[in-house]
Structure 1
């Protein structure tokens, strides 16, 4: 009943590690197809795509599982029980883990979540491909600091209206075989001991028959942080009695003590155990299965399709985009060539990742693209040293990499190559062909070419395994002097260069543990970086500025002490000042400026909205993200993504982050003027709507409603349109301004028209009262349909009336 379940030899049950991840690709177990991060997938507004992504993840999980010898036991991240998707509501864009969600809307999250769960599990509940685990149940969306003891007390209305619908859909419609309970307490009771959540809602109301797993150490946190129980035995007993079957952590080591003390009847223990063993049997864990390939051409194509569909064009003044063929491009900005902004968090290892800079070179020609890093991500945040500052011993951009089949760097290297930068994810993979993944050495040599005199600070970031013993040895030498061996502080790694003469560089990695990757970083003088970007911009026909954030700044419980950030969350929605300065500097050349935002959530691009010529949101776009961005900038793909969240002008427009009331949050309850509204997105073509029809103008409560409309592509390019239907209910103090009730993504050739039909279920037509009771209620409603929200897009409206009232199941 623990995630690291030991073998039971007398019963022929092998050891099994329940913990595996599949948020946007199979994670942390070597090479896998890396899709866009969840917010990017949500921006596609395409449930069919989410289903295909889920199918791919389950196939790659099966392939990894088949490679394991059961007699040796299954290690972490190699199993068939996937702790995904994250269907918490992104109620506040400052939450660092918002990137893992499908955005701010319960309806959109529900539809995408159901599709993803079905993709992961397949169509046969008795023989699922994998088991999906929607998380974190419930009302869990920051702040990250204090999450282990946070007590959430949403109103009955907000709980039913916002926080529970996606979980209900994932279970009742998607058939999810597992659910993860959250760290936080709900109205004073920790979620993993909350019978109202785990029994009444989950099992009684929604008919859930699977198992519940705790978030890691959440059961132990009941004692340590919530002070809800006296010790681990009591915490374990309360969790099992409430319906939590599996413990990620060590608290359930005290279950036997809980039974002996009379805190837990053995029958309750047996019930949880039966659920867990039944799940393993349904998965066919004891039946041999053939190993299949992962990261195939088909899955790489799907990753590219997903990245393309996720891209959102926010602005395109004077048809700046697409860029003309043959244009000279200045590619500037800190997110142009970083692996981490492709892969985001909870990721697998991409075999052939394409950064935006690489994608532009492939699409427009290497001689047409001049790159300059231009800025760091934020003040005092080191960033990977770019290839423009590195030279191999024979003068090529980058460093000479020598790869050894031993950790001592002994003998001749097994492979020698040129590495453009040192920015690698080696998690459970060999760094080069013919070398073992668990023991190797790498030596990088060459010269560092500082762009200007000044003070430089160096850093070696090693992605450490968080629960293993022993870490990799790393040594960095500059001009023969040891600069870093894992013990030096920032001051010791600071160097003052008097000129721009090259300096000898050597970096050595000795891998003998489970550490996961390495990046050679610097903090360069800001003016030196700006001057490089300005020089590139002056020689270009157009500037493409890649700005944004990084999963090292926004994410889960990070140790980040930087202005604008707090423990993985953000305190400001603004683009970091260094990047804003970069935009203003290159814009002063008068050249067309295209801003490409790479981030997990919304960023307040106020200056860019006023001054840039075009803005494209790329999210964290996955392994093929750079190619997808280049395809859109070149016009080879017509963008059609839509925002799954509101882009606010400032964090000052929002209530305090710790306030879980929905008033003033998300498009449904925000009364201010957003920078970009939920559902917004442009295209290289134009769409028109006509002939809106309702199946009936008056219906009885409990009947569905069908709306149809003629959609025409009015331009000369093929493209996708996302048809959005919003319901405005009768006015009441708790009613949303309007709410998404249906949507369809459709492809139309130039000049083509199609009648698009959307059915609104009784649940989509329902509202929630102050007591949390959901019902279809009498009154006059307005339905709006078009390419965006009413008030922000041209929509067609129709009114209809509902007679009577029908309560809906919780």
Structure 2
């Protein structure tokens, strides 16, 4: 009775309001969300409704509705924020941990930081893009082809592993409060989408029903049906001649009708414009927007194609009531996030800003970086290194002292990033001499050595640069901000304030200085920028050398003055620019090898970086095409240097940094030790040093198949799964999915398989023993195979568990295979029970003659 009276009083107060102030039902936190949403939408004009269906939704001041930008990213930590944040390992590295508990904890920590940023920005009156609580993560597309540049954002090639990691991420991000969402996760890119990047706006994917339901949809289903993800992003490409954001089968039949998804759907950014600009399936924005909304695409990320919804209503293509359906879904998310309620009602509103980069978060970033490292080869137990037996270590390679490679893409800015060189130096201290030679660039053979001198640059009698900033991307009109700056070296998050009048979004800048060289001869300027940047000398635009880094040589004359201008444009995302001066030379592989030949061991740190693999990039050089790869080998210049280092006769340890599978044909045959360290986040360098010197026993496992070369692969644009991934690949890889070595040895005793009385489930058990000398973690993997008269996987992962064992310790592991795991997908896309012989294996990787012989895997066949 008291609860009823309290509710009546509350309703009375909200209906009366304060003197002179209108109070609406939607502002009453005691009312059901559905009633509040209906009330709010009922007060909106058509123009206001449409404005709220675009990612940058403006404020509606007459109703007290604040502005909100739906676009935020949290792929491996809060991204693109002007606040300092914790950067965890890239998504593919998180998959390599095979640890759902660690992923859950990472997502929970990231959502803590996101909540702190959101509330701090709201209280300061600085909301905007990349400060909201709707994160467009995770990316659960299947990494079907290693050439795809965005595969680094995924959890690998396997539907089961992808689903398990994705579910943990979503649950950690969204929280478990019965009323409020901690934040909103978004499963992307729905659904048949994994490259190429260069034609994603025009490509039409077509797959069999078997591949659709066996490979491309399972992870999305798990996140939607089981994890209750609140957001889904539809992809750019078409699927059977219909754009994904307006697709009958994907959007209406499967997502809304079969899976009963009741969250919101956002388009990928610009995808609605693709309907009429590139797919040519619709005449104009009105037709495209109406069709997208009718298919359940509630929010448009882009340039405002949804503004044409008003015209679409006039033309009878859609009704206002149908628009309301999508609008209500969007506001329901905002209400569930507590955006219209007092802070004292929202359990996450008091997370302090001090949580950013707190000790627990930094410790977890290090833990995950360690867990993700995969030991691919360790000939004659070269690793771990013994500092008592080593006097000098040579660290070589383009990624050895590069902080950016560790942050990958979709990243935020931590206060401190530890490179591999720094990690090794910090580990050995004064006990071991460390020498460093970059040796070669990532993809070219230029070597730049900085020799920057502040005294050589001045403007109007003052040291440094005159900086002019514009709140547009064409340097139009008068600068919004002009000031003198000592140098040009910046990292800004998207939307960060520069001074009081410029934010880093859709902005441009010009830095002007006069350079007076102190000697005659060739010098070189280096310009690093995330977006477009050009160097002008005496009014002439300079031509760069180098295919990734931008170098500008100049034959300077002592005593001469050179007027220099740096023109920079930033459209979106992080804003980064750095200007440097020094010398440039061509790499000399033999000289580099000779300079390190007296070292006891050589650590080569190379591979790839997000500079060459990523989302729809401009890079088109040998081996790379607009974000994707045309070769899966490491760049030729790195191979050349590695061969010279190998020729010295000194042991060479290859630290591979990559977001995707690499061929490694020559490397795996010749080099004694290889560590795959991915893009390890802010603590990546420390984690690598910990593994190198045995302070951490490597335990990562590959979430991808490492093929020999591109000849192993079908055509990139072929979405059929035939001969793709470990589930269907019939060749011999360099390193298989699930593979990873340890400094210790694990053995498996006899497997036991016990069907339930109704034979609907099967219990699988085995004993795992650490028979080596080191404490270590084993990733126990369960695979099932059921050959049929229709296509089924060669084998498929159906369970995994990460366990820790001390030397001599044993542990029983147990899995229960339910009817879900004991099913296969037939040609029609239906899940049918396994029949006949079912092969079940349990081990530290896939079953093979070698793993079974060495008791690293046990297996058994049963009849069903």
Give how far 1:265 is off. Answer: 1.9
| Secondary structure class of the residue paired with 2:620 | coil
Please state how far the C-alpha of 1:129 moved relative to its aligned partner. Answer: 0.5
Aligned to 2:321: 267
Match of 1:578 among 610, 634, 637: 637
Is 1:730 paired with 2:787?
A: yes
Give the deviation of 1:772 after TM superposition: 0.5
Distance 1:316 1:443 in 2: 53
Q: What is the number of equivalent residue pairs in this alignment?
A: 765
Preserved CA contact (<8 Å) 1:727 1:739 = yes
Tell me which of 654, 661, 667 is aligned to 2:720: 661
Residues 113 and 456 of structure 1: CA distance in aligned 2, closer, same or farther (over 3 Å): farther
The answer (yes or no) to whether the contact 2:149–2:615 under 8 Å persists in 1 is yes
Residue of structure 2 equivalent to 1:419? none
Give deviations 1:700-759, integer Å, cap 9, x for gaps: 56x232211111111111110000000011333411110101000111112111111122
* Cα distance, 1:509–1:350 mapped onto 2, change above 3 Å: farther
Q: 2:836 corresponds to which residue?
A: 779
Distance of 2:742 and 2:441 partners within structure 1: 31
- Alignment partner of 1:375 out of 417, 440, 463: 440
624-633 or 777-786, larger mean C-alpha shift: 777-786
Is the 1:443–1:506 contact (alpha carbons within 8 Å) kept by the matching residues of 2?
yes
Give the aligned partner of residue 552 of structure 1. 611
* Number of the residue aligned with 1:253: 307
Please identify, of 748-757 and 724-733, the stretch whose mean Cα deviation from structure 2 is larger. 724-733
1:66 paired with 2:96, answer: no
Matches within 5 A, 1:564-603: 564-603=623-662
Contact 2:537 2:562 in 1 (8 A): no
* 2:267/2:301 contact within 8 Å kept: yes
Partner of 2:745: 686
Could you tell me how far apart the structure 2 residues matched to 1:522 and 1:674 are?
Answer: 45
Matched, 1:516 2:575: yes
SS of 1:543's partner is: strand
Distance 1:430 1:162, change over 3 A: closer
Distance 1:784 1:646 in 2: 19
Name the TM-score, length of structure 1 as normaliser. 0.87
The match for 2:422 is 358
Task: Write the distance in 1 (CA, Å) between the matches of 2:467 and 2:542.
Answer: 28
| Equivalent pair of 2:465/2:484 in contact (CA under 8 Å) | no
Structure 1 residue runs without a partner (length 5+): 395-400, 417-421, 465-470, 476-481, 803-810
Q: Once the 2 structures are TM-superposed, how far is the Cα of residue 9 of structure 1 from its aligned partner?
A: 1.7
Once structures 1 and 2 are overlaid, which stretch shifts more, 487-496 or 766-775? 487-496
* Alignment partners' CA distance in 2, 1:484 and 1:772: 66
Q: Distance in 1 between matches of 2:426 and 2:498?
A: 23
Quick one: which of 210, 234, 239 aligns to 1:157? 210
1:611/1:71 Cα in 2 relative to 1: closer, same or farther (>3 Å)? closer
Say whether the 8 Å CA contact 1:391–1:448 is kept in structure 2: no
Work out which of the residue numbers 328, 353, 371 in structure 2 matches 1:292.
Answer: 353
Choose 730-739 or 561-570, whichever is displaced more: 730-739
Cα distance 1:721–1:489, how it changes in 2: closer, same or farther (>3 A)? same
Give distance in 1, aligned partners of 2:518 and 2:658.
29
Q: What is the root-mean-square deviation in Å for CA atoms of aligned residues?
A: 3.6
Structure 2 gap segments, 5+ residues each: 1-52, 344-348, 456-462, 470-480
1:619 counterpart SS class: coil
CA 1:201/1:412 → structure 2, altered by over 3 Å: closer, same or farther?
Answer: closer
1:455 to 1:321, Cα distance in 2 relative to 1, 3 A: farther
Q: Please report how far the alpha carbon of residue 531 of structure 1 lies from its aligned counterpart in structure 2 after TM superposition.
A: 4.8
Q: 1:277 aligns with which of 331, 334, 343?
A: 331
Q: Does 1:173 align with 2:226?
A: yes
Secondary structure, counterpart of 1:797 in structure 2: strand
Mapped to 2, the partners of 1:635 and 1:545 lie a distance apart of: 18
Query: What are the within-5 Å matches in structure 2 for residues 471-620 of structure 1?
Result: 487-490=541-544, 494-495=552-553, 516-520=575-579, 528-531=587-590, 533-620=592-679
CA distance in 2: counterparts of 1:376 and 1:455, whole angstroms: 20
Over residues 43-75 of structure 1, what are the superposed CA-to-partner deviations in whole Å (9 max), with x where a residue is unaligned?
000011110111111111111100123795731
**Aligned mates of 1:649, 1:298 — CA distance in 2:** 40
Pair 1:7-2:29 in alignment: no
Match of 1:53 in 2: 106
Looking at structure 2, the residues matched to 507 and 586 of structure 1 have their Cα atoms a distance apart, in angstroms, of 40
**Pairwise CA distance, 1:357:** 1.0
Does the CA contact (< 8 Å) of 1:311 and 1:616 recur in 2? yes
Match of 2:373 among 308, 311, 328: 311
Choose 247-256 or 319-328, whichever is displaced more.
319-328
Aligned residue for 1:427? 493
Mean Cα deviation higher: 684-693 or 620-629:
684-693
Aligned residue for 2:23? none
Q: Residue in 2 aligned with 1:799?
A: 861
Partner residue in 1 for 2:34:
none
SS at match of 2:187: coil
Residue 360 and residue 694 in structure 1: after superposition, are their counterparts in 2 closer, same or farther (change >3 A)? same
Structure 1 counterpart SS, 2:143: coil
Q: Secondary structure at the match of 2:695?
A: coil
In structure 2, the CA distance between the partners of 1:694 and 1:78, relative to structure 1 (3 Å rule), is same
Larger-gyration structure (1/2): 2
Q: Within 2, Cα distance between the matches of 1:626 and 1:508?
A: 36
The secondary structure found in structure 2 opposite 1:226 is coil
- Residue number in structure 2 paired with 1:338: 402
What is the match of residue 121 of structure 1?
174
Match of 1:398 in 2: none
- In the alignment, the residues of structure 2 paired with residue 484 and residue 76 of structure 1 have an alpha-carbon distance, to the nearest angstrom, of 38
Distance 1:332 1:512 in 2: 34
Partner of 2:74: 22
Of the structure 1 ranges 321-330 and 79-88, higher mean CA displacement relative to structure 2 is found in 321-330
Q: Alpha carbons of 1:237 and 1:320: their partners in 2 closer, same or farther (altered >3 Å)?
A: same
Task: Look up the match of 2:196.
Answer: 143
Q: What is the alpha-carbon distance in structure 1 between the residues aligned to residue 586 and residue 842 of structure 2?
A: 50
Distance 2:712 2:522 in 1: 39
Deviation at 1:297, TM superposition (A): 1.1
Separation in structure 2 between the aligned mates of residue 392 and residue 454 of structure 1, nearest angstrom: 16
Q: How far apart in 1 are the matches of 2:732 and 2:779?
A: 22
Q: Check the 8 A contact 2:289/2:308 in 1, yes or no.
A: yes
Out of 613, 626, 640, which is 2:685 matched to? 626
Does the residue aligned with 1:632 lie in a helix, a strand or coil? helix
| In 2: Cα distance, 1:549 partner to 1:506 partner | 36
User: Does structure 2 retain, via aligned residues, the 8 Å contact 1:337–1:357?
Assistant: yes
CA contact (8 A) 1:158 1:662 kept: yes
1:488-519 Cα shifts (integer Å, max 9, x gaps):
22279653889xx9x99999989998871124
Of the structure 1 ranges 569-578 and 403-412, higher mean CA displacement relative to structure 2 is found in: 403-412
Q: Is the 8 A contact 2:790 2:827 kept in 1?
A: no
In the alignment, the residues of structure 2 paired with residue 437 and residue 12 of structure 1 have an alpha-carbon distance, to the nearest angstrom, of 25
CA distance in 2, matches of 1:685, 1:449: 58
Q: 1:741 aligns to what SS in structure 2?
A: strand
Q: Distance in 1 between matches of 2:592 and 2:251?
A: 55
Matches within 5 A, 1:105-116: 105-116=158-169
Deviation at 1:6? 1.1
Conserved 8 A contact 2:824-2:831: yes
